[in-house]
Structure 1
Amino acid sequence: MFLLTLLLPCLKLDPLLLANIKINRVPQKIMSVKIQNAELGIFFNPYETKRIPIYSVKRISEKMENCLKSSENVEKCFSEEMIYIRLPRKLHLLGSIDEKIPKRRFEEKVKESDQEIGASIAREMYKLSGKKTIVGIIDTGVKWNSRWLSFKIKDDLSPLIQEGEERNISKVMHLWDQRTLRDQSIPFPKGMTYPDGFTYGFECIEPARRSEILPGYNSCISDDQSGHGTHIAGIVSMETDDESGVAPHSAIIAVPTNLYEDEVLDAVDYIFKIAEKLNLPAVINISLGGHFGPHDGTSLFETLLTQKIGEGKIIVAAAGNEGQANIHIGGTYMGDLSTIVSIRDDCEIQFWFPMDSGVELEITFKGKSAKVKKGERQILFSAEEKISLIDFTSSADVPMTYLLEYSLSERKESAVFVSLGEVGQAQIKITFPKTTYFDAWISSDPSSCFFTESGDIKPSSENTIAVPATAREIIAVGYYIITEGENKGKISPNSSIGTENNGKPNITAPGSRIYSLCSGSDEYLCSGSGSSQATPHVSGAIALALERNPNLTPTEIIKFLCQSAKTDQFTGQTPNKIWGCGKLRVPEFISLIIPKSNPFSEYKLYYSIGSETKFNNSFKTLKLSSDYPFRILGPNFQDYGWSKNHKLYLKEIPEYVDVEFLDGNSKKFNLIGEGIKIQEGLPKNCGCFISSQSNIASISYLLLISLIVKSYLSILRYRIRRKKERKKTNNNLNE
């Protein structure tokens, strides 16, 4: 998809940003779109230079902050090239964490959702586990050192380790904690910095191996105070003694975030970049959502996310829990109509109308009134820490005229009501001069304000799917009830609902009282409810699908999910606006996917042998490392974690080691006969072996050289001998 300017625009300023600036709440950063010249291949003019919008995030400098605080016309504080300035919106968690149950009931509870979707059946039937795939989790954090979110290590030291102190390796392979905005004058903890291409947060690569493989390095300090992200990770990948998550052998990349949309965009880039470097497919789980923009896939946030997905790059998002939250009004109306909003905290409402609708809005709040039509902005009141305004300059998102795929008949105009620092009830009167369809959403935190049942226009549960699940190729997941009782099998009344025409949600999955990991003690499981909990069931299923075929596209996955979905007396005829295509069924979903594998690469594997004493026992240590993640499968010892570094404690060093690389390439390495040992403490590039096949090839090459040299020497000796013989013959003749 290309972005293309049709008209040279003037600057559009986000009303929420403007309101914050007016009461001196200057933000730390802004999202901006500016005009830039570029050569685009469009239609029949493949190299025509066009002026296109370019997105970026900018931190507010001291100079800009002073300008914003002192200028009456804040638009002058920004570059002339900018066409849109926006305050990053904060997404919200779409699930809650509730009851804890003790360890003895683990298997009983973990089985409930597994049996409902048939995950274990699919894994067994198709011999899948999620390996060869990346699962990205953008959330509140992950308890990466949970024993139930780890791969097991079995060697000669293992029997001496007490329960709860195992040397297991976390399934979290990379972690980027975005939540820390560091003063760059303060040094990072040893070995930590932000990832390449970014300038905030800190990154932990192989967090479980930092102190073991990198002596003197600190352990990864990232945690999950909320527990939401840990719960999500467990549904995908946890392993108890007898049960597991949907895709237990997938490699996890976790991004703890502050939940703002610009950070989510960065997190998606980070995860897909690592997956691309490893030549692996990735599915990203976003159990977050908001209600800003027109909810049709064309907002700035949805557009930028959509541009990042494609073959082997999938995003799954929670549909939302606002089925009963009174966050939406809409429908077809004519004449003068009103609605009432109850405001309990900072509140933003976005209205979306067809272009040139002729609509007028009038707001009455705290004894003040203001009326606007298109192109106008009015401030009801503005005090030191309070402001209320209504803006109809169509600045709720990037002007829709700049989206090439947005047809003229679909273009929309927007109005925004903002109230900061005040509470009470506001009356909103809308004048429709002709029959007009419109939508409006509470675009701030849903707990901050809501539409009441008073007034002419009542709240509607339709069209409550959260952004970014509204984007066309992002898979939207609703949730239903699986706990015993009269509601078992029914849709949750809180699950957000689409419309008859938008094809959302795409699928539903179990999401009520789902048991998974707690962020505190490993001795308990926590229950959670919401579309947040339903989403990782689908993400895990897609990880299994990508293991089977790494080149699947979002469109193909949506089609297969729909074709395989379960329908029953609760779903009725599907697809529909409540259930989407129906209930997730993993075996039927996987059955539709034709197996396909990408070609394997050859990787270098390095090793060194040492000795250590543990628990008064002497061991030989075997360190193995590679430039590509792998795991050790035996023969009599295992380290199942996906890591570039492994260390085993053994009584005797084996003759060979079975390893499997993350892309599925399995090899048997002969250490004694073919490997080149690296001395302890020396850099790994002083010697290596690639594989038994590669060593055979190397030996064959050496034998060939040796044979050539021997042949040359034989010929040379033959020529010398013949020369001597001729000389002797000549001498005899002369005599």
Structure 2
Amino acid sequence: MKKLTFVFVFLAIFSSSSLPSKISPDLQIVKDLYSQGKVNEIKSMGVTSPTKEGNGEYIDVLAEFYDVPSADLLSKCSLIRKYPGSNNFYHLRIPISEVKNFEVSSSLKYMKLSRFSKLFLDKVREKIGIENFYNYSGIGDIQGKDVIIGIVDTGIDTSHWDFWKGSSVPRILYIWDQTTNGKYPQGFNYGREITMGDILANPLIGTDEEGHGTHVAGIAGGNGNESAGKYKGIAPSSEFVIVKTTLSTPDIIDGINYIMNKAKSLGKPCVINLSLGSDLGSHDGKDIEGKLLKDMINYYGEEGNIIVAAAGNSGDMKIHYSNTISSTSSVTATMRVETNIQNEADQIYIDSWFDFTIPGLAVEVKVTTPSGSTTGWLSFSTSSYSISTIDGKITVESVSNEYNGSGNIFIMISDSDSTQIKEGNWQISFRTTNGTTLIHSWMLTSDGIYSYFNNGDNYYTISSSFLLDDVITVGAFTTKTNIKSIYESNITISSEKFFKTYVRGYNSSSYGETTFSNLTNDNICYFSSLGPTRDGRQKPDIAAPGALVVSALSSSSYATIPFVVDEYPGKYKYIAMMGTSMAAPVVTGITALLLSIEKTLKPQDIINYLKTYSTASPYDSNGKSWDPAWGFGMLNITNLLQTLKSPTNLIWLEGNVLRFSWGINQFNIKIRTDTQDSVEVCLYNVRGALIKDLGTYQIYPGLNTIPIKIGENDVVKDNVYILKLYSKNGENREFKVVVLR
């Protein structure tokens, strides 16, 4: 019989009177494992991987300090990066042995272990009404000219001609490769910067072994050079600043900073695409990453600095569980582990959050393995608990979070000695000894393990990484279910995880059609993550085409052969992919078009613009103004073409849903114009009868805000209306709007 080792640490009660922890729970686990000499277990953790530097083990952290950290503390770090806009935020690489010294420092406010994010156009251009965009009479050059598209991803294939003007001038201005060493970018002390001059000297210098970043860049701004324009992206005259990231959170935030700084130095607006994220975290944007990103946006200014993020691909995985817990009854999340390929080291993480501001609240947790081993009910604060069983090792950390007043219970289930994580039902139970609260749990597994909550759901699964109001969050819907590929016969598959090979060495003598059976045209993609956020905010903002999307294929990547398009035999320059990773750059490209007209647009301007011109509003189909999958509707900018007859005029509302309540009876119309004009605003019912003349307003060159007031006694009930604008200069506009009181 296998000998079991039980390690117990008895802990103080985890109650709302506990002081906030100064380090994140996963960092606490790393610190404790290091003190036990278990460095290999730290390296096997999927949350981060320490790097070997000198004689010690180092980890990357995000840290906020109350004041400038001491020179003695910083002298221990091999990487020190202070973020702009604040004297208090740092990206540090520190020895694990020094975590305890940082923790006891009076200058430290909070320190969080770096986590790794995961990666989440033929039909696209047609579906969103952009096919005629570039031939529209009178538009001029509004293809993203003088706008920087920033891509933080897996790199870019600089030899792909879709990112060149002709064959002589690259459209990629800078690449920061964080994964290798070389000449550092100014202001940073790691990675390698590649300039346009470097690309001209060696077009093969930029690589993308994953292929993800190249595909994303092609959707946002590829010019279709390799396909005679057929697979042109959304903003083909834009320029690129690329960050090939390690996917760790501090490096991603460094990448955002790098792009915004480059755009500022060039005097150009920028839109940054983030087709990556994490299922772990607070899911409310009120964490150290959210605060840091908000500070950075404020530092560079909201005008002309836009961030677009993919919603995530966890919409069908049941990685979320929530329930109300109290002292009268416990609740149990049943986690089913169905597949364990038994890699060298596996982990499952369960990240649970609850409101910790309730007076006297005390929460307990219990983990039960498939064989019946149990931790018993644990009441604790910030010290570790671990137990090794025949089904795997269980480690539990609990902290109160500095930034959002929430409690955070972090559970890691991992291989124990020679024992793999056991398949079957694992039970995670919660209760309180005092008070009532709502608890949310999310799950993340290492490769080789398939697990889900039997009694879970798919709501609240929007990626936790960048959930700010000023970040545009994009879900995905389907516009294409099949392609002609270089695979040698017709094939129907239900998962993109088919097989991959190196495309340069692949030869095909015949071609077939690949059909994806899980996709339905014009429906939300089955994988698109659902909202809302944990604090109840409405995310995603919009849904854009995310399957199947044809875009640039990196020549240095391994590709899923049935998804490589066959139209250019032997060239293998384009591939179809799917994911919210593909939907986000559609919105990124559209944002670049708008910024090329008005470079001072702010994030909320772009969000409201997209909402105003969305179609197939969920309100029309199911009576709601916002939907957890679609957001505020399906992106379709066909009507935008009418706006751009005169490219100097942009007109939008605060979305296609106007909400009124007692004391709030006003909405704004935004108009960007180059000429002085007067505009009459009228409200009609859907049958064309005038409900109310809302007044005539003067507008002037630049951005104008027209406040429209609806009186308490006006007969404007919950319904669908037509809002019409009549311009003295002869340009009229109408919008379908939903009024909710």
Q: 2:397 aligns with which of 391, 398, 408?
A: 391
Structure 2 equivalent of residue 479 of structure 1: 476
Gaps of 5+ in 1: 1-6, 39-51, 69-73, 95-109, 153-166, 183-187, 212-217, 402-410, 598-735
Give per-residue Cα distances to partners, 1:499-554, cap 9 Å, x unaligned. 39421110011111111111128433111011001111100000000001100000
Instruction: Measure how far apart 1:79 and its partner are.
Output: 3.3
Question: C-alpha displacement at 1:442, in angstroms?
Answer: 1.7
Q: Could you say what secondary structure the match of 1:307 adopts? A: helix
Q: Is the 8 A contact 1:170 1:208 kept in 2?
A: no
Cα distance change of structure 1 residues 349 and 447 upon mapping to structure 2, 3 Å threshold:
farther
Aligned position for 1:498: 531
2: distance between equivalents of 1:590 and 1:414? Answer: 48
Among 229, 232, 236, the alignment partner of 1:242 is: 229
Q: Distance in 1 between matches of 2:307 and 2:169?
A: 26
Three-state SS of the structure 2 residue aligned to 1:427 is strand
**Match among 223, 242, 267 for residue 207 of structure 2:** 223
Q: In 1, distance between residues paired with 2:520 and 2:607?
A: 27
Conservation of the 8 A alpha-carbon contact between 1:481 and 1:489: yes
Is contact 1:207-1:220 (8 Å) kept? no
The CA deviation at 1:87 is: 1.1
Of 456, 462, 465, the residue aligned with 2:462 is 465
TM-aligned CA deviation for residue 372 of structure 1: 2.6
Q: Are 1:116 and 2:120 matched, yes or no? A: no
Give the SS at the match of 2:460.
coil
Q: 1:438-467 CA deviation, whole Å, 9 max, x = no partner? A: 2111256587564331xxxx1111111112
Q: In 2 relative to 1, CA 536–147 (structure 1 residues): closer, same or farther, beyond 3 Å?
A: same
The yes-or-no answer on 1:20 pairing with 2:71 is: no
Q: Which runs of 5+ in 2 are unaligned?
A: 1-16, 43-56, 70-85, 341-345, 483-518, 556-569, 650-741
Tell me what 1:197 maps to. Answer: 187
Distance 2:384 2:30 in 1: 15
2:21–2:399 contact (8 Å) kept in structure 1: no
- In structure 1, give the amino acid aligned to 2:229: D
Match of 2:217 in 1: 233
Q: 1:129 to 1:522 in 2, by over 3 A?
A: farther
Offset at residue 13 of structure 1 (A): 2.3
Q: Matches of 1:132 and 1:76 in 2, distance apart?
A: 45
Instruction: Report what 2:286 is aligned to.
Output: 298
2:243 to 214, 230, 255: 255
Counterpart residue number, 1:624:
none
Structure 1 distance, partners of 2:211, 2:305, is 26
CA-CA distance at 1:145 after TM superposition = 1.5
Counterpart of 2:353 in structure 1 is 352
Q: CA deviation at 1:227?
A: 0.5
Does the 8 Å contact 2:272/2:307 carry over to 1?
yes
Q: TM-score scaled by structure 2? A: 0.64
Higher helix share: 1
Selected match of 1:315 from 296, 304, 307:
307
Structure 2 residue aligned with 1:131: 145
Contact 1:567 1:574 in 2 (8 A): no
Cα deviation code 1:481-509 (max 9, x no counterpart): 11259821111121111139421110011
Structure 2 counterpart of 1:274, from 262, 279, 283: 262
Please say if residues 544 and 583 of structure 2, whose CA atoms lie closer than 8 Å, have aligned partners that are also in contact.
yes
- Closer, same or farther in 2 for the Cα pair 1:66/1:439, shift >3 Å? closer
How many Å separate the matches in 1 of 2:525 and 2:465?
20
Give the Cα–Cα distance (whole angstroms) in 1 for the partners of residues 103 and 466 of structure 2. Answer: 34
Corresponding residue pairs, total? 507
Question: How far does residue 336 in structure 1 lie from its aligned partner after superposition?
Answer: 1.1
Shift of 1:173: 1.3
Residue equivalent to 1:363: 367
Does the CA-based 8 Å contact 1:378-1:389 persist in structure 2? yes
CA distance, structure 1, for counterparts of residue 350 and residue 588 of structure 2: 32
Structure 1: which amino acid aligns with 2:460? N
C-alpha distance in 1 between matches for 2:104 and 2:325: 39
Distance 1:596 1:87, change over 3 A: farther
C-alpha distance 434-11 of structure 1, shift in aligned 2 (>3 A):
closer
Q: For the aligned residues, what is the CA RMSD?
A: 3.0
Deviates more, 1:132-141 or 1:116-125: 116-125
Q: Is the 8 A contact 2:61 2:250 kept in 1?
A: no
Preserved contact between residue 322 and residue 441 of structure 2 (Cα < 8 Å)? yes
Instruction: Give the TM-score taking structure 1 as reference length.
Output: 0.64
Structure 1 residue 326: Cα displacement: 1.7
For each residue in 1:419-451, what CA deviation from the matched residue of structure 2 results, as whole angstroms up to 9, or x when unmatched? 343513532111145543221112565875643
1:36-83 alpha-carbon deviations (Å, 9 max, x no partner): 179xxxxxxxxxxxxx992212222xxx44556xxxxx3577633213
Structure 2 match to 1:150: 164
Partner of 1:161: none
Q: 1:73-88 counterparts in 2 under 5 A?
A: 74=100, 79-88=105-114
Q: Alpha-carbon deviation of 1:416?
A: 1.1
1:261 offset after TM fit, Å? 0.8
Change (3 A) 1:502 1:11: closer
Verify the 8 A CA contact 1:10 1:83 in the aligned structure 2.
no
| Cα offsets for 1:641-672 (capped at 9, x unmatched) | xxxxxxxxxxxxxxxxxxxxxxxxxxxxxxxx
1:712-731 pair list within 5 angstroms:
none
Q: Which residue of 2 aligns with 1:141?
A: 155
Query: How far does the alpha carbon of each residue in 1:125-182 deviate from its partner, in whole angstroms, 9 at most, with x for none?
Result: 3331110100000101111220222211xxxxxxxxxxxxxx43322111110112x4
Check conservation: 1:150, 1:168, Cα contact below 8 A.
yes
- Give the secondary structure class of the aligned counterpart of 2:88: strand
Partner of 1:702: none
Structure 1 residues 545 and 179 mapped into 2: Cα distance closer, same or farther (>3 Å)?
Answer: same
- Amino acid of the structure 2 residue aligned with 1:175: I
Q: Distance in 2 between matches of 1:58 and 1:37?
A: 14
The alignment partner of 2:132 has SS state of helix
Structure 2 CA distance for partners of 1:445 and 1:547, relative to 1, 3 Å: farther
3-state secondary structure, aligned to 2:66: strand
> Which residue identity does 2:105 align to in structure 1?
S
Query: Is the partner of 1:511 in helix, strand or coil?
Result: strand
Residue 413 (structure 1) shift: 1.7
Q: Is the 8 A contact 2:348 2:443 kept in 1?
A: yes
Alignment of 1:275-674 (within 5 A): 275-309=263-297, 310-334=302-326, 335-342=329-336, 344=340, 345-355=346-356, 356=358, 357-365=361-369, 367-373=373-379, 375=381, 377-381=383-387, 388-394=394-400, 398-400=401-403, 411-422=405-416, 423-424=421-422, 426-432=426-432, 434-443=435-444, 448=449, 450-453=451-454, 458-483=455-480, 487-499=520-532, 501-520=536-555, 522-567=571-616, 572=622, 573-589=624-640
Q: Secondary structure at the match of 1:262?
A: helix
CA contact (8 A) 2:150 2:259 kept: yes
1:58 aligned to 2:61?
Answer: no
Q: Is the 8 A contact 2:336 2:452 kept in 1?
A: yes
Structure of greater Rg? 1
Distance of 2:111 and 2:598 partners within structure 1? 41
Taking a change above 3 Å as real, the CA distance of residues 550 and 596 of structure 1, as seen in their structure-2 partners, is farther
Distance 2:287 2:103 in 1: 25
Query: Is the contact made by 1:121 and 1:587 (CA closer than 8 Å) also made in structure 2?
Result: no
